[in-house]
Amino acid sequence: MKSIKTKEVAVLLIGPFNDTFDYLIEENINEISVGQIVSAPFRQRKVVGIIVSEGSKTISQSKLKTLIDIYEIDPIPLPTIDLISFLANWNCVYKGLVLKMVLSPLEAIISPQYNKIYKYNLEDSLSIDSIDNKKLRSKRKLVLDALINSDKEVYETSLIQDIGVSKTVLKDMVNKNLIIEKLIKIMPDFSKNFIKSNDIKKENDKLLNEHQKNAVDKINKSILKDKTDCFLLDGVPGSGKTETYFETVRTCLNERKQVLILLPEIALTPDWQKRFYNKFNFNPLVWHSDVSKKKRKEIWLSALSGTAGVIVGARSALMIPISKLGLIVVDEEHEPAFKQEENVRYNARDMAVYRANRSSATIVLASATPSLETFYNMRMGKYIHLTLPKRATGADMPDIKLLDLKLYPPQKGNWISPLLINEIQNKLLKKEQTLLFLNRRGYAPLRVCNSCGNKVKCINCETWLVEHRLVNLLTCHHCGYSKHISNICEVCGNKDQMKSCGPGVERIEEEVQRLFPEAKSITLSSDTMKNQNLLTNAIEQIKNSEVDIIIGTQMVAKGHDFPKLKLVGIIDGDIGLSGGDLRASERSFQLLQQVAGRSGRHTTSSNDKGIVYLQTFDTENPIIKAIAQNNRDEFFEKELISRKNANMPPYGRLAAIILSSKFESDLDSFASDVSRLAPSFKNVKIFGPAPAPMYFLRGKYRRRFLIKSDKTVNIQKVLIDWTKKVHKPSNINLTIDIDPFSFM
């Protein structure tokens, strides 16, 4: 803790601020430190912020306002304060808005929970006799008796329970000076969150193989020496990465240091949590958007006080001010879900590396298909490479077979090739499971009129509506707009000419039921698995072999371990191959490899290997070929070369400016203002303004600039200097996206 001696302090307030404001602290307060959470008067309002340093002394004391509150709560740790600055500067966003993410939920700070305790009012003391003589109604006498007989204060709850007195009576007694009330702040009790090593269930400990042991040893050494190493834990799906990092979590807990595990939201499954519990005998603190405010408040406070052992969460968990951080794990580090695309745009994985570094904590990035950036950093020696080359269960990797749809097309109106149908039949006979993967929700990606060619579009976005037949709706996946499915074309008015175009998982399920009426099938997508309970049940059913055929979107691609699953059929291997954006190939590769990795994870002999059928029209495509040959590194090398030639990340820098507005002509004239003021540097190329591929989204028109530069350029400074020069009308939004993931 860095204490402050002056009476003037610099405060960073929540809000659109980069600069701090000076305030005075009251004379009677002697001890104050950096990171302390305060509230301050600001433009007739009370705003929460944190003290970041001594005052700047640029304004005379007499003109300064005094802080309103200094909250009785541990100060925000210095590494988190550093993170606020770094994240804000890197991503060109306001520090005060990053602070808002850190101080969330704000209720944890400004409205602490209290217990009421009572004691007998000695100053106004009455002897028992005089109480007896007083005409106090019986409950009150009992309360006084209880307080006189107890030498300590008594909790409100126990008075209510033991005596049956009401809160109103207690309040009345306080008002009449018979008893004294005190408020005690409740701190959440998370004493169970750290384990003693003998608490761990030994029967759930797996004997680690040599690769796992080697990885654990290296990571443990780093944890024990407080080093800030960054590890890439790189292992094929099922190689025991989770088991490996669990082991290092244990080391960290034994050192009484806290652990943060970041998972993409989609992987935060009950399955994972169960596995954690089986190993450690306590539940980690789970943090994501669906967790109640009350729970988040508890987690936040215990993280700050150092009593939370393990916090597992989606990307926003990175902002929790953990005071004694020893280890961060970013599992599935390649996942785009770590990039936040709205409000404050940032990449939680990259910021996690910084956060760990500032805390002298170890960080582990785990993946079977690392992102190209991480792979590159490993190549450059920034990250330490730990490999788990084999499946931990001893099972062989699956055989991947390309299924050429030109040679073996499905029947008209169907999507599963006869070859794959045959293979599914085989598996059904052997009572083994099949997974059919298609990364498309709903019944069909669009609905089109056979008569006039009209495709049903969203009214708010430049996109087609997706048909969801189960709920009889056409829905926009961008803005949520939906309407009923109709058989009449809105454009030509013809009846019964509307056709569903292309498949979604619902349609595949329909086909499966038609082809294998006896088989039990289940669809896993965000539409069918709306809550954790449904998903838990589905996973249970699959594990208990109550399901023969699983149909799923990317929801099934990751993390799950289904022992009976022997066949994976990829319905459309070509989706996303021609996406055209920077990471299209990389992402397709990752997703396909992840899905393929579900097959045959627990097979015992080599003639019983898992099989993957990849349906494609493009067997010569380099990504498809790399998947088929299980040749990840060669694919990565090629991809790196092509990025290098194009001076794209990780070799060059990339950023975007996105302008949006409800008013198209205002937008265009503003875009040309921005363009006119564009800087001109040798190493910076500016493209645009161009209508965004999604040029109309959620009711707003959109234009984009793409900025490309050499790695030596401070692209943030270029962008800030540039955008500062333009006068932005209030009906236009301007967003800067550093290292964009989405190019829409």
Catalog residues that contact Zn ion under the rule CB under 5 A. 458, 460-461, 476, 478-479, 481
Among ligand ADP, Zn ion, none, partner that 242 touches (CB below 5 to 8 angstroms by kind): ligand ADP
Among ligand ADP, Zn ion, none, partner that 478 touches (CB below 5 to 8 angstroms by kind): Zn ion
Nearer to ligand ADP, 243 or 586 (CB): 243
Among ligand ADP, Zn ion, none, partner that 104 touches (CB below 5 to 8 angstroms by kind): none
Residues 6+ apart with CB under 8 A from 668: 703
Q: Which stretch binds ligand ADP (CB under 6 A): 74-82, 232-240, 701-709, 736-744?
A: 232-240
In the three-class reduction of DSSP (H, G, I as helix; E, B as strand; rest coil), residue 129 is classed as: helix
Among ligand ADP, Zn ion, none, partner that 241 touches (CB below 5 to 8 angstroms by kind): ligand ADP
| Residue type at position 555 | M
Binding string to ligand ADP for residues 334 to 373, with x set by CB under 6 A, is what? Answer: ----------------------------------------
Which residues are 482's β-sheet partners? 475
| Smallest separation, CB 285 to Zn ion (Å) | 36
Nearer to ligand ADP, 212 or 603 (CB): 212
In the three-class reduction of DSSP (H, G, I as helix; E, B as strand; rest coil), residue 87 is classed as: helix
Nearer to ligand ADP, 209 or 742 (CB): 209
Q: Which stretch binds ligand ADP (CB under 6 A): 22-30, 124-132, 237-245, 493-501?
A: 237-245
Among ligand ADP, Zn ion, none, partner that 395 touches (CB below 5 to 8 angstroms by kind): none
As given in the structure block, the two tokens for residue 319 are 């902002």
| Smallest separation, CB 458 to Zn ion (Å) | 3
Residues 6+ apart with CB under 8 A from 85: 95
Candidates 100, 140, 211, 241; binder of ligand ADP (CB under 6 A) is 241
Candidates 206, 218, 457, 483; binder of ligand ADP (CB under 6 A) is 206
**Site membership for ligand ADP, residue 55 (CB under 6 A):** no
Nearer to ligand ADP, 207 or 407 (CB): 207
**Site membership for ligand ADP, residue 561 (CB under 6 A):** yes
Nearer to ligand ADP, 212 or 585 (CB): 212
In the three-class reduction of DSSP (H, G, I as helix; E, B as strand; rest coil), residue 421 is classed as: helix
Nearer to Zn ion, 479 or 648 (CB): 479
Q: Are 336 and 345 in contact (CB under 8 A)?
A: no
**Residues 647-686 within binding reach of ligand ADP (CB under 6 A):** none
Alpha helices in 184-269 (DSSP H): 210-224, 241-254
265: DSSP letter = G
Question: Measuring CA to CA, which residue among 484, 487, 452, 479 is closest to residue 468?
Answer: 484
d(CA 246, CA 241): 8
Among Zn ion, ligand ADP, none, partner that 543 touches (CB below 5 to 8 angstroms by kind): none
Among Zn ion, ligand ADP, none, partner that 209 touches (CB below 5 to 8 angstroms by kind): ligand ADP
Axis-axis angle for helices 78-91, 95-102 (nearest 10): 130
Among Zn ion, ligand ADP, none, partner that 237 touches (CB below 5 to 8 angstroms by kind): ligand ADP
Which residues are 741's β-sheet partners? none
Q: Are 30 and 3 in contact (CB under 8 A)?
A: no
Which residues are 260's β-sheet partners? 311, 328
Could you give the C-alpha distances from 648 to 272, 380, 713, 720, in angstroms and in order? Answer: 36, 16, 13, 21
In the three-class reduction of DSSP (H, G, I as helix; E, B as strand; rest coil), residue 301 is classed as: helix
As given in the structure block, the two tokens for residue 239 are 């190689």
Q: Are 447 and 500 in contact (CB under 8 A)?
A: yes
Nearer to Zn ion, 477 or 543 (CB): 477
Q: Are 66 and 34 in contact (CB under 8 A)?
A: no
Nearer to ligand ADP, 220 or 323 (CB): 220
Binding string to ligand ADP for residues 390 to 429, with x set by CB under 6 A, is what? Answer: --xx------------------------------------
Nearer to ligand ADP, 206 or 698 (CB): 206
Among ligand ADP, Zn ion, none, partner that 561 touches (CB below 5 to 8 angstroms by kind): ligand ADP
Which residues are 475's β-sheet partners? 466, 482
| Smallest separation, CB 339 to Zn ion (Å) | 21
As given in the structure block, the two tokens for residue 467 are 């048909």
d(CA 67, CA 58): 18
Nearer to ligand ADP, 179 or 366 (CB): 366
Regarding beta strands 45-54 and 8-13, do their DSSP bridges make them parallel or antiparallel, or are they unpaired?
antiparallel
Q: Number of helices (H) and strands (E), helices first, in the chain?
A: 21, 34
d(CA 703, CA 212): 49
Nearer to ligand ADP, 66 or 204 (CB): 204
**Site membership for ligand ADP, residue 237 (CB under 6 A):** yes
Backbone dihedral region of 108: left (phi > 0), alpha (psi from -120 to 50 degrees) or beta? Answer: alpha
Nearer to Zn ion, 473 or 515 (CB): 473
d(CA 97, CA 39): 16
* Residue 668 phi, psi dihedral angles, 5° rounding: -65, -40
d(CA 700, CA 67): 41
Question: Measuring CA to CA, which residue among 227, 231, 258 is closest to residue 245?
Answer: 231
| Smallest separation, CB 489 to ligand ADP (Å) | 48
Among Zn ion, ligand ADP, none, partner that 163 touches (CB below 5 to 8 angstroms by kind): none
Q: Which stretch binds ligand ADP (CB under 6 A): 239-247, 370-378, 510-518, 711-719?
A: 239-247
Nearer to ligand ADP, 206 or 638 (CB): 206
Among ligand ADP, Zn ion, none, partner that 476 touches (CB below 5 to 8 angstroms by kind): Zn ion
Nearer to Zn ion, 356 or 474 (CB): 474
**Residues 212-231 within binding reach of ligand ADP (CB under 6 A):** 212
Among Zn ion, ligand ADP, none, partner that 481 touches (CB below 5 to 8 angstroms by kind): Zn ion
| Smallest separation, CB 601 to ligand ADP (Å) | 6
Candidates 73, 78, 200, 208; binder of ligand ADP (CB under 6 A) is 208
d(CA 577, CA 621): 9
Size of site (CB under 6 A) for ligand ADP? 16
| Smallest separation, CB 455 to Zn ion (Å) | 14
Distance of CA 106 to the CA centre of its chain: 19
d(CA 465, CA 456): 6
Q: Which stretch binds ligand ADP (CB under 6 A): 58-66, 79-87, 170-178, 241-249?
A: 241-249
Among Zn ion, ligand ADP, none, partner that 461 touches (CB below 5 to 8 angstroms by kind): Zn ion
Distance of CA 668 to the CA centre of its chain: 35
- What is 423-462 written as a DSSP string? HHHHHHHTT-EEEEE----SSBSEEEETTT--B-B-SSSS
| Smallest separation, CB 94 to ligand ADP (Å) | 38
Question: Measuring CA to CA, which residue among 20, 72, 25, 79 is closest to residue 50?
Answer: 20
Candidates 31, 125, 151, 207; binder of ligand ADP (CB under 6 A) is 207
Q: Are 312 and 71 in contact (CB under 8 A)?
A: no
| Smallest separation, CB 28 to ligand ADP (Å) | 55
d(CA 83, CA 89): 10
Q: Enumerate binding residues for ligand ADP (CB under 6 A).
A: 206-209, 212, 235, 237-243, 392-393, 561
